[in-house]
């Protein structure tokens, strides 16, 4: 599972084109299945432990500019999971603010120290058992997160509503409503997506808005998130979408019902632990485990 790529300076778990190339060579090109072969084997229950596929989430321009040339060099076809809000001039606020933090601060800790003072939260929340459980759970999945990155996610995902948290960040960065700068190079365009399809890559669903609290939405809103996403992608690609990845790894049984009703045949999660309440790592075609490249490349 890949997210951000960098040219010169590493940021927010990003990797370089050399890292990607090394990884492909280490895995071995012959083990990497194309999305269509993945689908075929998935339907016939013929996926084996040594099979691997490459997936890219979040419609990031850096994937197009830095990772795509490497995929082309090795003739590897991959999955790209797209949140369509960013193709219509909208913002994926989560990514937008993380990029903004990265461009304005030397490191995340420096940012978080000032932000924590700005939002004035009672520090006792970080002593609470709820926080400790949240932290341990997150570290199980993403062992490289620092304390301030975990606290940021806790405030974002558990303490504030999505809108309130974004408003706090906008106030912190002194942004007026509708004022977005530095966005042009964050996400791919519709033309980029079209080009990925022309090159034989597969585009999958990732919800329209990429909500950080997706599972807390009503079933109707979850359904809308996926139907709008599917319609917009199919309008660009002229192909039926058959695959998805759960936004920020968030899904529940409603989600799986919705995906089935939309003729989605397989979906990916964002960690490689056994899902809660299940006995095996890949309990169904809608819960394929993935390994974050940051965990694979960790020093
Ligand atoms: Zn995502």
Ligand 1 centroid, distance to 248 Cα (angstroms): 5
Q: Give pLDDT tens digits for 90-131.
A: 889 889 999 889 889 988 999 999 999 999 888 899 999 999
Mean pLDDT of 245-254: 95
pLDDT at 180 over 70: no
134/72 same-domain check: no
Confidence (pLDDT) at 182: 61
Ligand 1 centroid, distance to 247 Cα (angstroms): 5
Is the torsion defined by CA of 92, 133, 113, 14 positive or negative? negative
pLDDT at 277 over 70: yes
Asked if residue 8 is part of any domain, the answer here is: no
pLDDT at 225 over 80: yes
154/122 same-domain check: yes
Ligand 1 centroid, distance to 58 Cα (angstroms): 5
Asked if residue 10 is part of any domain, the answer here is: no
Confidence (pLDDT) at 163: 85
Mean pLDDT of the chain: 92
79/116 same-domain check: no
- How many whole angstroms from its chain centre is CA 101? 18
57 — pLDDT class (breaks 50, 70, 90): very high
Ligand 1 centroid, distance to 50 Cα (angstroms): 25
Q: How far apart are CA 246 and CA 232, in angstroms?
A: 17
pLDDT at 279 over 70: yes
69/191 same-domain check: yes
156/196 same-domain check: no
Ligand 1 centroid, distance to 264 Cα (angstroms): 18
pLDDT at 162 over 90: no
Ion ligand 1 residues within 5 Å by Cβ:
57-58
pLDDT at 54 over 80: yes
Count of domains for the chain: 2
CATH code of the domain containing 248: 3.20.20.370
Confidence (pLDDT) at 179: 63
Ligand 1 centroid, distance to 95 Cα (angstroms): 9
Asked if residue 233 is part of any domain, the answer here is: yes
Q: Which of 112, 143, 172 is the last residue of a domain?
A: 172
Strands (E), the chain: 55-57, 79-82, 202-205, 243-245, 266-268
Q: Which of 172, 203, 230 is the last residue of a domain?
A: 172
163/270 same-domain check: no
Highest mean pLDDT among 3-17, 216-230, 279-293: 216-230
Ligand 1 centroid, distance to 246 Cα (angstroms): 7
159/228 same-domain check: no
Ligand 1 centroid, distance to 56 Cα (angstroms): 9
Q: Which of 110, 145, 172 is the last residue of a domain?
A: 172
243/289 same-domain check: yes
195/53 same-domain check: yes
Q: How far apart are CA 195 and CA 80, in angstroms?
A: 12
Instruction: Provide Rg for the chain, Cα atoms.
Output: 19
pTM of the model: 0.92
Compute φ and ψ for 243, nearest 5 degrees.
-140, 155
67/200 same-domain check: yes
Mean pLDDT of 50-62: 96
Asked if residue 181 is part of any domain, the answer here is: no
Ligand 1 centroid, distance to 7 Cα (angstroms): 21
In three-state secondary structure terms, 281 is: coil
Q: How far apart are CA 299 and CA 294, in angstroms?
A: 10
Tokens of 84: 């369509």
Contact 2, 55 (CB under 8 A): yes
Asked if residue 2 is part of any domain, the answer here is: no
Half-sphere exposure in the Cβ direction for 25 (13 Å, CA)? 8
260/143 same-domain check: no
Helix (H) and strand (E) counts for the chain?
A: 13, 5
Ligand 1 centroid, distance to 206 Cα (angstroms): 7
282 — pLDDT class (breaks 50, 70, 90): very high
Asked if residue 47 is part of any domain, the answer here is: yes
Tokens of 202: 């597969």
Confidence (pLDDT) at 1: 95
Ligand 1 centroid, distance to 94 Cα (angstroms): 9
State the CB neighbour count (10 A cutoff) for residue 277: 6
Q: Give pLDDT tens digits for 17-45.
A: 999 999 999 999 999 999 999 999 999 98
Confidence (pLDDT) at 212: 86
pLDDT at 8 over 90: no
Q: How far apart are CA 146 and CA 285, in angstroms?
A: 32
CB neighbour class for 11 (10 Å; exposed up to 12, middle 13-18, buried from 19): middle
Residue 250 lies in domain = 17-90+187-296
Ligand 1 centroid, distance to 209 Cα (angstroms): 10
198/234 same-domain check: yes
Asked if residue 193 is part of any domain, the answer here is: yes
Asked if residue 9 is part of any domain, the answer here is: no
């Amino acid at each position: 599972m890949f997210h951000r790529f960098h040219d010169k300076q590493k940021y927010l778990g990003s990797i370089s084109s050399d890292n990607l190339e090394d990884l492909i060579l280490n895995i071995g090109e012959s083990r990497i299945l194309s999305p269509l072969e993945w689908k075929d084997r998935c339907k016939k229950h013929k996926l084996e432990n040594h099979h691997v596929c490459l997936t890219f989430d979040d419609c990031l321009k850096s994937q197009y500019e830095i990772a795509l040339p490497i995929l082309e060099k090795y003739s590897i076809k991959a999955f790209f999971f797209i949140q369509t809000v960013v193709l219509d001039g909208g913002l994926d606020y989560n990514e937008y603010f993380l990029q903004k933090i990265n461009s304005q601060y030397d490191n995340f800790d420096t940012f978080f120290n000032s932000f924590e003072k700005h939002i004035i939260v009672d520090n006792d929340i970080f002593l609470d058992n709820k926080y400790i459980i949240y932290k341990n759970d997150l570290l199980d999945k993403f062992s490289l997160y620092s304390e301030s990155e975990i606290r940021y996610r806790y405030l974002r995902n558990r303490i504030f509503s999505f809108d309130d948290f974004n408003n706090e960040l906008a106030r912190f960065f002194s942004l007026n409503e509708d004022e977005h700068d530095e966005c042009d190079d964050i996400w791919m365009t519709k033309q980029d997506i079209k080009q990925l399809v022309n090159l034989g890559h597969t585009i999958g669903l990732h919800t329209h808005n990429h909500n950080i609290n997706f599972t807390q939405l009503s079933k109707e809103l979850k359904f809308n998130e996926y139907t709008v996403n599917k319609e917009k992608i199919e309008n660009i690609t002229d192909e039926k979408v058959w695959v998805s990845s759960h936004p920020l790894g968030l899904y529940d049984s409603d989600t799986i019902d919705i995906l089935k009703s939309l003729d989605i045949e397989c979906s990916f999660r964002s960690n490689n632990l056994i899902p809660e309440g299940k006995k095996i790592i890949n309990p169904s075609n809608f819960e394929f485990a993935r390994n974050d490249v940051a965990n694979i490349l960790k020093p």
